[in-house]
Structure 1
């Protein structure tokens, strides 16, 4: 009965929308998605190697609807509803949110788009595409994603994103915390700009989260593999067995502020595009403040129209620790929508740090970790 009712309501809605007496506006709705799956080998996760099925790596799995309606006078209504999910299990990602990847409605004119909902921040819009290693291997985000280069979004937000004017665009976003009596708590904001001129591009952004929570809460050991974080222990070690217990696996490490500045640039020389980026992130908690810096460089070589190679190197420093990571990915297009790829990462951390690549695996029991993946991606 529920399906029949839903079908009847949908049919009635479509019929009404099509009546010329009600509206002469032009509208469209597009269904789209990405499916990514494959096999991954990891050298050391908690003391042992693992071979596993993994998905949403090269690109996050998604299923979405986006639409626009011409309101006349150069004004349009727009919306996006985008769900993230695990291909291996069919379960929803993003904490089980039905439209955890994006969900917004807004108005667009010749200046840009004003929108309301769960939306990508300006770090994603302006600079995260310069994370060249992640184009080679989806695991190769920056350490712990402290700088939000993994394509992150902010809930309960109001956002303006300009159109492009002579290669320049800009935007801003504010995310409401919704805490009674405290306008600041759980809030966030993001600002950014981007410029493109021929073979040259440049992006810059700043994003700040006050009291990060939910899927962006902190589990320091799982994120970067350190035994201390802002002066506090992150693990306990069994003196007899050596077994490690993550102290913040179930209850998040409370952070007052996470602020990240990022800048990225690219330059195309023939069929090779050079990329570089730098981020500076401040984490404040318990009266302490620490800073993570990440520098990255690499290139995308379009060997043939169907085959490309992507390589990148990252250097990270935080609280006296250092990480060096190299990445290589090979991608072959069977068509415009179907891609086969093989990728690999190698991470070497400072002594005493349990290496973990991109907040993607259980930390290693040593200062090194490596992965190799063979996968397939299809878009529609």
Structure 2
């Protein structure tokens, strides 16, 4: 990353002239990832395509601090995603990935306000193969548990506290509906222990009226995350849910040079039939519950070469006596570092789906790609990623 001193003319103009005694900096950072994908079944046909933003999601951002004295600092992050294949921005807003400002103190923690990741992402994503190899290629079906951070939280107040190996975080988002304090509100909390070889985390996420407050484009059947994402039959039929709740546990054990990881999530779409949240064409009532387990192993073959494999089992128990489905996904690949910032990688995923999904079909949906025409789908990707 390149650090830019705020005494520069540009930074002074944009962020304001700093005190002569304060130590201030702004860091420009980003990721550019582009590759070729082969998909075995995209609506019934083979598909070759150039797709970007899979390994770490293409992004650019500014991260800054200002020393206020007495151990206090002002912190901020402004970040957006983009498509390298056509130069377009990923979100309609200027900083759709993250945009927040706050205060930080090593003794008292950090308080931030703005558009942010929830505590479940902060706590559990680190244990998934998603961040170790493959990125968005290895999201759980439809990213139903949001371990892949497909969705972010607006109007969020977040507090993070770290002391030794323990990190705790809590987030609250106000619904902003007059006379209905609980509508559209979001809250989450997580705690993590990071030891030298063993780490463990637990987190909870609670979203009211998720089709309006949490899922992108205000519709669980659509997304603004990647170019080739279509509907999400894994859970798009549950747009009428009054609540979306996720409980998650994760951990890893380092047995050098291998790191073993595990993530368990329980996802509940509750209060189905609330048409003020979203449509309900299949007439669901009650709750739909997903249980998922991912186990992985990441092997560091050398300083430059690593390989990883993972298996994910996701089961939807259905709702109203229908829509039960099981997803089995096998993932793996290799990554070779050309330098500290640039790497090339080859990854693949195969998924088998049995049963009936939330939309009434029987379509596999590996990661967030276009659903297949049947219960099986495979994707292979070769790509290059540069981080700055």
- Please report the TM-score for the alignment, with normalisation by the length of structure 2: 0.84
Q: Secondary structure at the match of 1:13?
A: helix
What SS does the corresponding residue of 1:341 show, helix, strand or coil? strand
Which residue is 1:365 aligned to? 373
Could you say which residue in structure 2 is the equivalent of 1:344? 348
Is the counterpart of residue 190 in structure 1 residue 188 in structure 2?
yes
Q: CA deviation at 1:77?
A: 0.5
1:266 equivalent in structure 2: 252
Say whether the 8 Å CA contact 1:33–1:63 is kept in structure 2: yes
Structure (1 or 2) with the larger CA radius of gyration = 1
Structure 1 residues 206 and 16, CA, compared in 2 at 3 Å: closer, same or farther? closer
CA drift of 1:366 comes to 1.0
1:312 is aligned to 310
Is the CA contact 1:132–1:276 (under 8 Å) kept in the aligned structure 2? no
1:17 partner SS: coil
Say which of 325, 328, 337 aligns to 1:333.
337
2:294 to 287, 296, 318: 296
Give the count of matched residue pairs.
344
- The answer for unaligned runs of 5 or more in structure 2 is 1-7, 223-229, 274-284, 319-323, 357-361
Query: 1:114 offset after TM fit, Å?
Result: 0.2
Contact 2:365–2:372 (CA under 8 A) maintained in structure 1? yes
Is contact 1:356-1:363 (8 Å) kept? yes
Of 283-292 and 217-226, more deviation after overlay is shown by 217-226
1:294-330 CA deviation, whole Å, 9 max, x = no partner?
0110110000010000110000100231111000110
CA distances 1:51-73 after superposition (whole Å, capped 9, x unpaired): 00100101111100010001000
Matches within 5 A, 1:44-123: 44-94=41-91, 96-110=92-106, 111-123=108-120
Q: Deviations over 1:59-111 (max 9, x none)?
A: 111100010001000111010001111111222213x1211111000000122
Change in Cα spacing, 1:345 to 1:23, as seen in structure 2 (3 Å) is: same
Mapped to 1, the partners of 2:199 and 2:24 lie a distance apart of 33
Q: Secondary structure at the match of 1:44?
A: coil
CA, structure 1 residues 172+11, in 2 after alignment: closer, same or farther (shift >3 Å)? closer
Could you tell me which residue of structure 1 aligns to residue 385 of structure 2?
377
- Tell me how far apart the structure 2 counterparts of residues 313 and 130 of structure 1 sit (CA, whole Å): 13
Work out the CA distance in 2 between the residues paired with 1:15 and 1:135.
35
Distance 1:64 1:12 in 2: 17
214, 218, 221: which one pairs with 2:220? 218
What is the rounded CA distance, in whole Å, between the counterparts of 1:120 and 1:150 in structure 2? 11
Which SS does the other structure have where 2:46 is aligned?
Answer: strand
User: Aligned equivalents of 2:314 and 2:127: distance in 1?
Assistant: 16
Does residue 143 of the first structure (1) align with residue 166 of the second (2)? no
1:22-67 Cα distance to aligned partner (Å, 9 max, x none) = 4311111111000010000000011111000100101111100010
C-alpha distance in 2 between matches for 1:131 and 1:299? 10
**Residue 281 (structure 1) shift:** 0.6
Give the 5 Å matches for 1:140-289: 140-151=138-149, 152-163=151-162, 165-212=163-210, 213=212, 214-215=215-216, 217-219=219-221, 222-225=231-234, 229=237, 253-284=239-270, 285-286=272-273, 287-289=285-287
